[in-house]
Chains A and B, each alone.
Chain A
Amino acid sequence: DAKTTQPPSMDCAEGRAANLPCNHSTISGNEYVYWYRQIHSQGPQYIIHGLKNNETNEMASLIITEDRKSSTLILPHATLRDTAVYYCIVRPSQGGSEKLVFGKGTKLTVNP
């Protein structure tokens, strides 16, 4: 029951920007966009989240369209260690009983 759509896989050259798209056309006004990634054999790792403004942290940038129906996660200079499955998730920020529902994600492969 994931509310997002992501391409199943993408490739990126090392050192280039990786732009991962996500569609969430049914997002509600109180729902945030969260991004996580899972590197092989590790637990998922929180990357970034946002409501409507663009966000940036030390890991990535998040660009959310004005209508909030889609977003893009940007890894500005991808490295081999960024090879992972990236999950885009929408949920209310004040989680409480709202669970984090993972979809199939995008498998990003960073090539040398």
Chain B
Amino acid sequence: DTAVSQTPKYLVTQMGNDKSIKCEQNLGHDTMYWYKQDSKKFLKIMFSYNNKELIINETVPNRFSPKSPDKAHLNLHINSLELGDSAVYFCASSQGDRGEGYTFGSGTRLTVV
């Protein structure tokens, strides 16, 4: 019974395509996040939503658009994919006001060819 689940686990696509990654958490957390881990293994936050409201939006190209239909889901849509978008994308959730740790999903490895 996975707490934070992402789909797909692997995604290979051509440059210029549009793709989406889905994330769902069953922990009842209020806050969800998207992180990107590049080839050098640096983990960087991209977005954060709290109760469907965007609260963190780092310097990310407009081609990336998060969508949160409800507080259990945070999807990431990427338009016009570029080679540099190849990375592992991690979804996470937390109950922010309790100071507990984040729970991460297992990641989506995106390869743009």
Q: Interface residues, chain A, CB within 8 Å of chain B? A: 32, 34, 36, 38, 41-47, 49, 85, 93-97, 99-102, 104
Contact = CB atoms under 8 A, between A and B. Distances in A.
Q: Name the prevailing secondary structure of the B interface residues.
A: strand
B102 interface: yes
Contacts of A104: 42
Interface of B: 4, 31, 33, 41-45, 48, 50, 55-56, 58, 90, 92, 94, 96-97, 99-107
Contacts of B99: 32, 49, 93-95
A34 B101 contact: yes
Contacts, number: 59
B96 A96 contact: yes
Q: Name the prevailing secondary structure of the A interface residues.
A: loop
Contact of A94 (B56, B97, B101, B107): B97
Contact of A44 (B44, B48, B90, B97): B90
Given A42-B106, A49-B99, A94-B97, A85 B41 contact: yes
Given A36-B102, A43-B105, A99-B33, 11 more contacts: A43-B106, A44-B92, A46-B102, A47-B101, A85-B41, A93-B99, A95-B97, A96-B55, A97-B50, A97-B56, A100-B33
Given A94-B96, A96-B96, A99-B48, A44 B102 contact: yes
A43 B96 contact: no
